[in-house]
Chain A
Amino acid sequence: MKTIGFDVGSTTLKCVVLDENENIVYKDYQRHRSKAGELCAEFLRTIVGKFPGEKFEIAMSGSAGMGLAEQLGLPFSQEVFAMRIAARRLAPGTDTVIELGGEDAKIIFLTGGFEMRMNGTCAGGTGAFIDQMASLMNVEPIELNELASRHEKVYSIASRCGVFAKSDIQPLLNQGARREDVAAGILYAVVNQTVAGLAQGREISGNVLYLGGPLTFFPELRKAFDKTLGVSGVCPEDSLFFVSLGAALAGVAEECDLLELAERIDRHEGMSAYISTEPLFRNEAEYQDFLKRHAKSSEGLLELDAPSGEMCLGIDAGSTTVKAVLIDSAGNLFRTMYRPNSGNPVPIIRDYLESLYRDFPDIRIRGAAVTGYGEDLIKSAFKADFGLVETVAHFTAAKRFRPDVDFILDIGGQDIKCFRIRGGAIDSIFLNEACSSGCGSFLQTFAGALGYSVQEFSKIGLLAESPVDLGSRCTVFMNSSVKQAQKDGATVADISAGLSISVVKNALYKVIRCATPEALGKNVVVQGGTFLNDAVLRAFERELGHDVIRPKTAALMGAYGAALYALSRTEPGARSSLLDAEGLANFRHETKATTCQGCGNHCHLTINTFNDGARYIAGNRCEKPLGTRKAEHLDLYEYKLELLKKYRGNEREEGKRTLGIPMGLNFYELLPFWHTFWTELGFNVLVSPDSDRALYRKGQHTIPSDTACYPAKLVHGHIEWLLEQGVDAIFYPDMSYNVDEEMGVNHYNCPVVAYYPQVLLNNVRVLTLKNLICDCVSISDRRQFVKRMTRIIANHFPDVAASGIKGAAEKAYAEYAAYFAAVRAKGSEYIDLAKEKGMPVVVLTGRPYHIDPEISHGIDRLICSLGAAVVTEDSISDRIGRFPVHVMNQWTYHARMYAAAKYVAAQPSNDLLLVQLVSFGCGVDAVTTDEVRSILEDAGKLYTQIKIDEISNMGAVKIRLRSLFSAAEKA
């Protein structure tokens, strides 16, 4: 009797056949492209062919094997469990197993307290992530390894979600960073994600075993793990087959007739039901009508074969594609181009211009404008006349097709951009920052996984009879829903249609967050490559309940808008400064990567040098490396940090006990208070330094909940630092309540700010109730505070005289009040100064800890570099009295945001603009963002939100801010 173990993973099928002595006599590994059942049957028949007359017993495993085993009544062994069985058998002495699969990541601790950990619902850092990143770099996944092997430096890339990683990678590529270094960055991102998400406080050490596809095929990934963990792990023979081996060895296998089983699988495919929705089109005729209607909206727009008169050039150097178009003075199209940017738009534009000049040496170009991520680079490289922010370009183009347009939705490969037009100006802007599932690349990923091109794939769905209802959510979640639907018999057509529908739902309900489709407006123009997909367009109209306009130039709107802009900004007879044929022939371009040493942000800079010696620096957050720092630098974030320095001298007096304070979360506001309090009582106070990546990594291994916000996760690093310094105790109290500013029904902290000390106590091994003072205390009532602190101090420091506590508390309260007074005075001063100079003021609204440069990523400085002043929400929140809000106004920090919004809303002019910073994973902001937005919008003001996490790229932020300033000017 031979034993078969099947491992049906999320993307691959693995199978082993063992003989009576547990030797592998046959094995196979293939991608199943979501047709796991079919492939299983194929494997079974092959096995029968190889071992005629043999008897078999079989067991299943794998994340996608569970359903299959259930349907077929086969014994099942949970895959992590199976892997452990195999590891014990084949690699005795192993301490830790790290296995990365298509959608799963696992760590198993075999020794020193057995534990298994799998990734939860968030699946960054898996094979799927690597695939996604490879396709972004336009290479096969395996080539990523090769590239990484030649790296010189490692770019820091956000690891949690593909979207964040993309927003790090894309600009790096656009800026001409070395692909080798980016590839290495991607692999290190996978390592960081695994360590942060799964190790959860346990150190990975000893004999480490690497299993699964990515670790088998990517020696560079293994090296990255080795280097990060300080181990030398082993990737054993058959590293792909451990789970299937474990299933075979688990002792659960049952005898079965393979051919009969294969037949049963064939029959089973497509048995049960899945939830479906209405078809997109009932019949071909309906589809044809639809096509006719859309053709009509672009009637009269010609595509020219040759230049006619003076032409204007528009270029859109987008995040994934480069688009260009020439127009005549009537706006007719000529020489349109749409190409993937392959990481560097410069050679693409050079080729475009070269062939243009070759074919039409006499062409007269009157003006040229550039928009998109690569705007600055392309403009300086080719000497275009104008640069304009994307949103303005899109609006300009949309107006051409629908002068009374009131809503524009652009869905590209990885971006969703939409904006509402009010009074002829761009009003609210929505960009996808947290999620890419409403985008085109989402469809592309699935099409690819199922073996289709995206065009074919979406076409199949048009006439699907019962599209799968997939709801709306992230790609990773969607993967499993698709799997389930397939298991339940959905056809590729049904899935395709279902995915198109969910793209639309994601865009509407996740990104735009519209309550009702009607809220979008009546005159909607849709554009972007994804809308060329008829299934998506249809689904969108269906969801909206009315028809929309899709211009012929839907995929080129940015470029078309830029061209129109150039046309409107130049006079007939003008001549563009764009490089001519001769200039182009001499064109040279080199890139060099470097790290800016200007401040703690250490921006990765890319220096582009052109043959005329012109240099263009990209990747900078502020003007420092450019040497053009503005004289009037009104930045209250910086001022606050400066004020706090006073308490961060860290002088240690001999003979005194030292208390450590981790500089995170609420200490960004309460440091003046606590520092004064403890100093008065005769303690040295040691405050941890500014956060940075290195500090974050230091504490990463003790983070238990990966989905908590970045500001909270940073605290782990601060604790490690304090422990290294040797303090007598760390002081970090639990604070359910914040200060009471009497603006709401209560004055809580959010749960994370309130109780994070408990997380540290429970997850940082060396912390105890002795060396971490984390008692509950509130400072909102002075009398109670003194009472409570007296008890706490008596408990921890019995020798400290209780008599001094009241006085210390008084000093602390006074210091806190003085700090706040200074912040508010300076805020007023900046607002007045800005007014004098005619600068806009941005109220950069967040929590006190957002001034940590590692958290805000220097957004404050970016705003200043765009010529505005920055003040904080708490510097103006006292300017408004108590007022009703639509939410439970129960958190102090958040009450300040509502108040700041209310104050901004009450201003007659647009001098004060509010920008809200939202930390990813901040659950409370699900409540506050909508409220802040509605306070502003009810008063006809602009609302801008910026989501921040570990991401460190400012490209998208810059677009948003520039659009805001441009909209504010017009309003």
Chain B
Amino acid sequence: MSSNTEKLYTEFTAEMKKDYTILAPDIFPTHMEFLQKVFELNGFNVEVLHDEDRSVIDTGLKYIHNDMCYPAICVVGQQLHALMSGKYDLHKVALVQFQTGGGCRASNYIMLLRKALENMGMGYIPVLSVNFAGLEKHSGFKITTKMAMQAFYALAYGDMILLLKNQCEPYEVNKGDTRKMVLRWVEKIGRQLAHDKGMTDRELRENFKEIAADFHVIPREDKKLTKVGIVGEIYVKYSSFGNNGLEKFLLSQGCEFMVPGVLGFFQAYIKNIELDYNNYGGSRLKLEISKLLLKKIANWEKYMDEALVPYPEFVAPMPFDKVVELAEPIIDLGVKMGEGWLLPGEVAELIELGYSNVICAQPFGCLPNHIVGKGTIRRIRDLYPKANIFPVDYDAGASKVNQENRIKLMLAIANEEDK
């Protein structure tokens, strides 16, 4: 696959690598801090942006087509907003975006960002694409296999900490215990990553055990809470900025929630190589590599499970293979755009794990969600009569009141089912 957009972008040169700051949007909680460490380890100076107020959205709306999906408005808005803040030397910054190369519009964020920069007269600022599809080439920015693996480790840690945070915080006796523990581990793992540590299977396994043991120590109240699962478009699912503080709201309503891990999104991406091979043919080598990679990550899942087993209060996610199995009766596994078949697979996983009240967080007008989100709910209800699924739309104009009202309805039904 060759690119025909080559001429139209500013290259990030090896020279720039030395003293440029790369500004990254805040996409995943915790995970981004780890990824930042991985980048730094590889000689890049990365800053994760945290500006999250209305002016970020306004900036996004000003430069991005308003009918574009909401995450584009948030992440691009965040970066442009930072550039306009005066905090950075504009000739010493670059921007970075994630790109899957899939068939949904999200693959276009990077181009929209560049267009916006051009409109602002900042076309000289390089924009980097983190992708595995070989979409763009920058002489100063190459993701090596090693770096990719490091990134996967970083995500695995992020998922572990997120999982335990979500399962401790609603039950903690002393308010703030969990947050403190999260900070401690973010710091600890961050330090390891920065020193090229923690990124072997052995170290991961040990770290997982320690993390689980530590979170287990947090004193818990013995109470029964409504269990809520969160699936959806990858940005609004994780970003509290994107979902109007969904997690905070759920906590205030006396819920415990589970959000499937970030790594799953990448596992699905890798799995699709295999599925594509079956449907359309392709490179045998890529197929074998992807199988190996999935096998390796499957080991990490085992370590996570093994670390959690001693503590009955913790619920481990299902192995990825099982999620694939659960998705199959709901949707054709050839559906790969956006979250693709993974989304209904995760809904089924959550229901089976006891989180049968599921919020499907999606940007208003999200194309893949017509298919994999709203489009599958009916089938899922047939298969899992207990399923209590609610799609919730997020958008620059959608009001929090309406979103919360919808969620309250879901909770009212959930609580009635419990009685």
Instruction: Please give the residue numbers on chain A whose beta carbons come within 8 Å of chain B beta carbons, in ascending order.
Output: 63-64, 66-67, 76-81, 113, 115-116, 118, 120-121, 200-201, 275, 434, 469, 471-474, 477-478, 480-481, 483-484, 509-510, 513, 515-516, 704-705, 707-708, 712, 734, 736-737, 743-746, 748-752, 754-756, 758-759, 761-763, 774-778, 781, 783-784, 787-788, 882-891, 921, 923-927, 929-930
Please, could you name 8 A-B residue pairs with CB atoms under 8 Å apart, sorted by A? A120-B406, A121-B364, A471-B57, A483-B399, A749-B103, A884-B5, A887-B108, A929-B65
Partner of A784, one of B105, B114, B280: B280
Residue pair A781, B107 in contact (C-beta under 8 Å) = no
Instruction: With both chains docked as a complex, state the minimum distance between the C-beta of B158 and any C-beta of chain A, in angstroms.
Output: 27
Q: B400 on the interface (CB 8 Å rule)?
A: yes
Instruction: With both chains docked as a complex, state the minimum distance between the C-beta of B262 and any C-beta of chain A, in angstroms.
Output: 21
Instruction: With both chains docked as a complex, state the minimum distance between the C-beta of B346 and any C-beta of chain A, in angstroms.
Output: 16
List of B residues within 8 angstroms of A930 by Cβ: 65, 115
Q: Complex: how many Å from CA A756 to CA B19?
A: 48
Residue pair B397, A116 in contact (C-beta under 8 Å) = no
Residue pair A784, B281 in contact (C-beta under 8 Å) = yes
Q: Complex: how many Å from CA A355 to CA B374?
A: 60
Q: Nearest chain-B residue to A756 (Cβ)?
A: B371
Cβ proximity bits B50-68 to A, threshold 8 Å, 1 near / 0 not? 0000100110011101111
Q: B370 on the interface (CB 8 Å rule)?
A: yes
How many residue pairs bridge A and B at CB < 8 Å? 242
Residue pair B397, A473 in contact (C-beta under 8 Å) = yes
Instruction: With both chains docked as a complex, state the minimum distance between the C-beta of A118 and any C-beta of chain B, in angstroms.
Output: 7
Residue pair B397, A704 in contact (C-beta under 8 Å) = no
Residue pair B54, A755 in contact (C-beta under 8 Å) = no
List of A residues within 8 angstroms of B116 by Cβ: 515
Instruction: With both chains docked as a complex, state the minimum distance between the C-beta of A495 and any C-beta of chain B, in angstroms.
Output: 14
A471 touching B61 in the complex, CB below 8 Å, given contacts A516-B119, A784-B281, A890-B103: yes
Residue pair A478, B409 in contact (C-beta under 8 Å) = no
Partner of A705, one of B279, B338, B375: B375
Residue pair B397, A781 in contact (C-beta under 8 Å) = no
8 Å CB interface, B109-152 against A = 110-112, 114-116, 119-120, 135
Q: Complex: how many Å from CA A746 to CA B369?
A: 21
Residue pair B4, A744 in contact (C-beta under 8 Å) = yes
Residue pair B111, A926 in contact (C-beta under 8 Å) = no
List of B residues within 8 angstroms of A115 by Cβ: 381
Residue pair B393, A473 in contact (C-beta under 8 Å) = no
Q: B336 on the interface (CB 8 Å rule)?
A: yes
Q: B85 on the interface (CB 8 Å rule)?
A: no
Residue pair A116, B413 in contact (C-beta under 8 Å) = yes
List of A residues within 8 angstroms of B396 by Cβ: 471-473
Partner of B376, one of A480, A515, A762: A762
Q: Nearest chain-B residue to A114 (Cβ)?
A: B413
Residue pair A704, B378 in contact (C-beta under 8 Å) = yes
Partner of A776, one of B334, B369, B379: B334
List of B residues within 8 angstroms of A888 by Cβ: 5, 107-108, 110-111
Instruction: With both chains docked as a complex, state the minimum distance between the C-beta of A8 and any C-beta of chain B, in angstroms.
Output: 12
List of B residues within 8 angstroms of A746 by Cβ: 1, 101, 103
Besides A118-B406, A923-B67, 18 more A-B contacts (Cβ < 8 Å) are A66-B408, A78-B405, A78-B409, A78-B412, A80-B409, A121-B398, A516-B119, A705-B375, A736-B337, A748-B103, A763-B378, A774-B332, A781-B281, A883-B4, A885-B5, A923-B365, A923-B367, A930-B65
List of B residues within 8 angstroms of A64 by Cβ: 401
Residue pair A886, B370 in contact (C-beta under 8 Å) = no
Q: Complex: how many Å from CA A744 to CA B332?
A: 27
List of A residues within 8 angstroms of B366 by Cβ: 923
List of B residues within 8 angstroms of A510 by Cβ: 66
Q: Complex: how many Å from CA A884 to CA B114?
A: 14
A778 touching B364 in the complex, CB below 8 Å, given contacts A752-B370, A886-B114: no
Instruction: With both chains docked as a complex, state the minimum distance between the C-beta of B286 and any C-beta of chain A, in angstroms.
Output: 15
Residue pair A66, B332 in contact (C-beta under 8 Å) = no
Residue pair A758, B405 in contact (C-beta under 8 Å) = no
Q: B104 on the interface (CB 8 Å rule)?
A: yes
Q: Complex: how many Å from CA A761 to CA B119?
A: 44
Partner of B371, one of A745, A752, A925: A752
Residue pair A81, B103 in contact (C-beta under 8 Å) = no
Residue pair A81, B397 in contact (C-beta under 8 Å) = no
Partner of B4, one of A774, A884, A924: A884
A927 touching B4 in the complex, CB below 8 Å, given contacts A78-B408, A113-B385, A121-B398: no
Residue pair B375, A121 in contact (C-beta under 8 Å) = no
Q: Complex: how many Å from CA A640 to CA B110?
A: 37
Q: Nearest chain-B residue to A708 (Cβ)?
A: B370
Residue pair B364, A707 in contact (C-beta under 8 Å) = yes
Residue pair B111, A887 in contact (C-beta under 8 Å) = yes
List of B residues within 8 angstroms of A120 by Cβ: 391, 393, 406
Q: B6 on the interface (CB 8 Å rule)?
A: yes
8 Å CB interface, B334-377 against A = 334-338, 364-377
Residue pair A745, B395 in contact (C-beta under 8 Å) = no
List of B residues within 8 angstroms of A118 by Cβ: 406, 409
List of B residues within 8 angstroms of A471 by Cβ: 54, 57-58, 61, 396-397
Residue of A81, A201, A481, A484 with most chain B CB atoms under a 10 A cut-off: A81
Q: Complex: how many Å from CA A118 to CA B402?
A: 11
Q: Complex: how many Å from CA A481 to CA B54?
A: 13
The 8 closest A-B pairs by CB, nearest first: A473-B397, A776-B334, A748-B103, A480-B399, A477-B397, A81-B412, A926-B67, A515-B119
A886 touching B8 in the complex, CB below 8 Å, given contacts A116-B413, A758-B335, A926-B105: yes
Residue of A76, A79, A473, A924 with most chain B CB atoms under a 10 A cut-off: A473
Residue pair A755, B335 in contact (C-beta under 8 Å) = yes
Q: Nearest chain-B residue to A475 (Cβ)?
A: B397
Residue pair A736, B336 in contact (C-beta under 8 Å) = yes
Q: Complex: how many Å from CA A775 to CA B278?
A: 12
A472 touching B397 in the complex, CB below 8 Å, given contacts A704-B374, A704-B377, A885-B5: yes
Q: B7 on the interface (CB 8 Å rule)?
A: yes
Q: Complex: how many Å from CA A484 to CA B370?
A: 29
8 Å CB interface, B225-276 against A = none
A778 touching B280 in the complex, CB below 8 Å, given contacts A118-B406, A745-B1, A751-B367: yes
Residue pair A758, B331 in contact (C-beta under 8 Å) = yes
Q: Complex: how many Å from CA A833 to CA B7?
A: 38
Instruction: With both chains docked as a complex, state the minimum distance between the C-beta of B236 and any C-beta of chain A, in angstroms.
Output: 13
